Every structure is written in C-alpha cells, then in structure tokens.
Structure 1
Amino acid sequence: MGVEAFLEHRSVLVGVAYRILGSAADAEDIVQEAWVRWSEVERGEVADARAFLVRVTTNLAIDRLRRLKVRRESYVGDWLPEPVSTGPEVAERAELADSVELAMLVVLETLSPLERAVFVLREVFGFSHAEIGETIGRAEPAVRQLARRAREHVRERRPRFDVDRRERREVTERFIGACTGGDLRALMELLAKDVTLVSDSGGKARAPRRMLVGVDHVCRFLLAVTRPEGVAAFLAHAGMPPDTAFDLEISEVNGGPAIVASTGGTAFTVISLLVVDGRIETIYLLANPEKLAHIVSE
C-alpha cells in the first residue's frame, strides 16, 4: 500500500521539485527524501497521501533552494537551470511545456524560494490557496499575497514564447545549418538585433562566462566555435580528444526542440532557442557536464 501510493504520485512530486529547484538531480534527491519520510509515517495518520507527499516535497525543496541560492552566487559564469529530456506528452500539454521551458525557469530563479513554490503549486499544478497554505504553513491571505506578487513578477519578466512548434523546429534546423556551414548571412537573418547568448559551463567547458548581446558578438562567437578548429578546442577543453566524432541532433528538451551534441550517447552540449516572430531572441547554451546527465540522446 505504501509503495503503490508513493509511486502513484511520484511524477507529480518530481514535477513540483524540479520546477522549484531548477535542477533535476536535486529534485530526485528531494523526492528520495520524501520517500524516506513517507516510509516512516503511520498510514493511519495520513488522510490524503497526495497532500502529505506534496507538502513534504515542497518544504524540502524550499529548504534546499535556500541553500542552493547561496552556492549559486559563487558559480563560475552564468547559472542556468539543468535541462531535462521531455517526451511528446509534455510538449502536447501547453501548460506543462511552458512551465519547464528554460526561459521560464530562468524567470522563476528571480523569485524568492517561497514565492517560487507558491507560483508552481498554484499556476502549474492548480492547488487552491487554502491547500497551498496548509502545505507551506501560511494563512490563506498570506498565500494569496505571495501568489499575486509572484504572478505579477513573472508576467513582467516572462518572455513571449513562440507557440508555433513547427516554426520553432524549422528555425532550429536553419540555425544548425547556418552555424555548421559558416553562413554568416543566413545566421544574421535568423537572429533578432538584440539577441542574447547565455552560456552555462561552470568553468568546465569552452564558453563565454558573460552574456553576449547583439548580432555581431553572438555571430562572431557561434561561427568561431563551430569551425573545425573551434570544435576541436571545445572538445579538448571538455577533456575529449580533438578528433572525437560526435552527433548533432534536435531532441525534445524542456518541452521544446533543442540542439543536442553528443558522443557515444552522452550529451556534452545543449542549445535551446527562444524564438519570437520567427527570430531568435535568446540562445541558451549549456555545456557544464554535471548538468547534462538527464539529457537522452535520440
């Protein structure tokens, strides 16, 4: 009974923890801790297994996030959420896909841990204010205030997603072709004038440690890193022989198409594009090997 009940709600627990933490590895740790708590509790004391498990997971995630925020302040370069491979069932449900988009998770990073938890429970999973209050130990009026503040904060900063998935994939394919073919003109046609490139390497891969802004800076970097000598330098910096064979493909990552570079079935770079009105507004480049364990190469 205990195992079955936990497994029934496990996907929801992982979803809650990942959206609060922005890290799949930490989310898995939290859910494991929730299982320990669940295995120790007397079943007769639990009226609603789902409510109990969500409450435990949420509070563990809030505590973990408070500690992580301190550590992320000393992170080498920009910190981006840990990407995860997602299947078509996520992409087909707009509310789930939007809530795991890298661009959305970046916005959620600007919320306080408590605001983030309330936003996730309310806006993504549809919990009532009263239920959230019971979960985080706050009165309902306080929860309503947290929810309103978080919602307004996200609305002000949330990127305007391109909802046409077919167009987004087409732009991604053209982006690959322009970069690998060294076609500067084609690349410039794809990028918005104020395009930004944010990379996360943790100092463990060859990537800019500061955001690049503008077509010129972004194009210069992309064309340099995709030339044969640039690829060799990137691989060498990542600890691989410069002549290592690798695959470049488009896979479902965080609810949308993303470019995954892998060797031997192991991803070493993920590039996700924020496309608006047919133009690339933001490029997220993730190359920290510690963050790519949950990427499945197709």
Structure 2
Amino acid sequence: MTAADRLAAEFELHRPHLKAVAYRMLGSLTDADDAVQEAWLRLARADADGIDNLGGWLTTVVARVCLDMLRARKGRREEATPDRLPDPVVSSEHAADPEQQALLADSVGLALLVVLDVLTPAERLAFVLHDLFGLPFDQIAPIVDRTPVAAKKLASRARQRIRGAAPTPDGDLVAQRRVVDAFLAAARGGDFDALLALLDPDVVLRTDGGVLTGGLRVISGAAAVAARADTFRRMATAAATHPAVINGVAGLVNTVDDEPFSVMSFTIADGRIAAIDILSDAGRLARLDLDGVTP
C-alpha cells in the first residue's frame, strides 16, 4: 500500500464524523458532502506527516469550510431561493448504516436544525462544535477568529436564542410511534377533535414543497394545524405510508405508485405532537436514500 493509499484509508475512517459535523453546520446532505470533499482535497495538498492529530485537523478544516459556506449563504439570502427545510436523514426503524448512525447521533432533529438557521454562522459553529461535539473553546476560538472567552460567549448566545424554540423530543421511540399511529388514524378519518387532542397547543407545522410551491411554509398553533384535517385525510388516504426514523424521531415516508411523495417528521414532546415537518419537494426526495424504508 502506498503512502497515498494509507492516507486515503485513514481519511475514510474519519468521514462519518466529518459528515456529521458538516450536516449539523449546514443542514444539507449535499453541502455536507461537498465540505468533506474539500477537506480531503486540502489534506491531499498538505504535508500529512506534519499533522499530529489527523482527526482534529480534519474537523477544524471542515468547520472552516462550513463557516465560509454559511457566510456565503447568509450574504446572498435576499436573492436566494426561499428558506427551506433541512435535508432529512431517513432510516428504517430496525437498521441504520454507520454513516447514518453518526448523522443521527444525539437526535439532532429537523426542528433543531431549522432553529439553528436563525443563528449567525459564528454562533452556529460555536454551538455545534461545543454543545453537540464537545470541542473545547480553545480549539473553537481560532476557527472563528475569537478568543476562547469570546467563543464561549458565542455558544452561550446561541443557546439563549434557541432555548424553547426547538422542543426536546421524548426519548421512547415506541411511544413516539403510538402517537404517530394515532395521528394517522385521526387523519384518515378527517377527525378534527382527535387531531386537536394529539397536538401540543404551540405545535408548529412546517411544509416544504420546493421553490415552485413557495418554499417553506409555517403554521403555528393546535387549532390552525388541526384545521388542516381535510388535507391530512387526503394525504393519508391517497398515499401508502411507511414507518421510518427521521433524524432520530418517529416519522413517515409516504409513496404514491411506489414513488416518494413526502417525508414527515414528528417531534413528540410530553406525549403530544410539538412539531410536524413535511418535505414534499420531488427533486430533493429523489436524492434521499430510502433503502430499507420503501419497497
């Protein structure tokens, strides 16, 4: 095995962790892959023999690449496509490959990823690296060109901004599934009262059908969400529903004629549905890995 082959093999060992970092930073699986690929290109150009801690070096590189991507994204937001749901990570309830397991660790659900979009790039980086991956602030500080004390303040500010905005999901996936099944039953019956009983008073429904449908749409409040009972009934009766785990929480993959129609993620908190996230953008659905979930 050549030195280049050994380096490539070592890089592959770090790939799941690097993609997990990039995904939490960017909320896009495609962009996360691009960030990881850029890290590989930089490693290939670097003097690898002079790198004492390859995992730490690669994490820093990926974080810097993601920070640049976030800043570019923020800079063109006014003329960019409308805000959208993050890419969901979908797996069956019974199995997940190692890369999916890394992506799903700590149950970073779609609801939290949506909230992270309100942070500045530096706040998001400090929060993700410290709170989700446990990096000390003296390692985070050089990435954001701050002192460790200032980096700690970035993470603290991020926590304050997202506190309460993303509900913490109940930990029991079986109990979550019971609530989702009850939602399906109520939806198929168009039962407004049954839907209302399942919803948290402050529930948030986010739907993303893509740019052609106006991008991300948000409805808040149990009565407003339950008022869409007819829409839920039509969707539940027209599509075949497949149980799935979406970013670590109970969800559904809906298909029509064996083609993916939508992915639904349910955040269940204290036994009630606190958030529903629905992605129905056909182009993005086609790029998802749904093996083991749909026929």
Match of 1:277 in 2: 270
Match of 2:227 in 1: 220
Q: Name the % identity.
A: 34
C-alpha distance in 1, partners of 2:163/2:27?
19
Which residue identity is paired with 1:214? G
| Cα pair 2:82 2:216 within 8 Å, conserved | yes
Match of 2:171 in 1: 163
C-alpha distance in 2, partners of 1:122/1:228?
40
Secondary structure (helix, strand or coil) at the match of 2:114 reads: helix
Of residues 275-284 and 157-166 in structure 1, the stretch that sits farther from structure 2 once superposed is 157-166
Match of 2:260 in 1: 267
Alpha-carbon RMSD:
2.9
| Cα pair 1:97 1:254 within 8 Å, conserved | no
Matches within 5 A, 1:187-266: 187-204=195-212, 210-227=217-234, 231=238, 246-263=239-256, 266=259
| Cα pair 1:83 1:291 within 8 Å, conserved | no
Match of 1:133 in 2: 141
C-alpha distance in 2, partners of 1:277/1:149?
27
C-alpha distance in 2, partners of 1:73/1:222?
34
Matches within 5 A, 1:72-221: 72-73=77-78, 79-86=84-91, 96-98=105-107, 100-204=108-212, 210-221=217-228
Q: Taking structure 1 as reference, are residues 169 and 225 closer, same or farther at Cα in structure 2, changes over 3 Å only?
A: closer
C-alpha distance in 2, partners of 1:139/1:268?
47
Secondary structure (helix, strand or coil) at the match of 1:227 reads: helix
Match of 1:25 in 2: 30
Match of 2:3 in 1: none
1:6 to 7, 11, 19: 11
C-alpha distance in 2, partners of 1:92/1:186?
34
| Cα pair 2:187 2:233 within 8 Å, conserved | yes
- Quote the offset at 1:75 in angstroms: 6.0
C-alpha distance in 2, partners of 1:14/1:92?
11
Of residues 272-281 and 257-266 in structure 1, the stretch that sits farther from structure 2 once superposed is 257-266
Which residue identity is paired with 2:288? H
Please give the per-residue CA displacement for 1:267-288, whole angstroms capped at 9, x wherever unaligned.
Answer: 3311112222222122211112
| Cα pair 1:253 1:295 within 8 Å, conserved | no
Which residue identity is paired with 1:108? L
5+ residue gaps, structure 2, are: 1-5
C-alpha distance in 2, partners of 1:172/1:228?
14
| Cα pair 2:252 2:263 within 8 Å, conserved | yes
Match of 1:234 in 2: none
Secondary structure (helix, strand or coil) at the match of 1:211 reads: strand
Match of 2:49 in 1: 44
- Quote the offset at 1:63 in angstroms: 0.8
Q: Are 1:35 and 2:40 counterparts?
A: yes
Q: Are 1:289 and 2:282 counterparts?
A: yes
C-alpha distance in 2, partners of 1:183/1:101?
28
Of residues 61-70 and 3-12 in structure 1, the stretch that sits farther from structure 2 once superposed is 61-70
- Quote the offset at 1:12 in angstroms: 0.9
Secondary structure (helix, strand or coil) at the match of 2:168 reads: coil
Secondary structure (helix, strand or coil) at the match of 1:106 reads: helix
| Cα pair 1:66 1:113 within 8 Å, conserved | yes
Q: Are 1:54 and 2:47 counterparts?
A: no
| Cα pair 2:123 2:154 within 8 Å, conserved | yes
C-alpha distance in 2, partners of 1:172/1:144?
38
Aligned length: 281
- Quote the offset at 1:229 in angstroms: 11
C-alpha distance in 1, partners of 2:273/2:236?
26
C-alpha distance in 2, partners of 1:37/1:91?
25
- Quote the offset at 1:113 in angstroms: 0.7
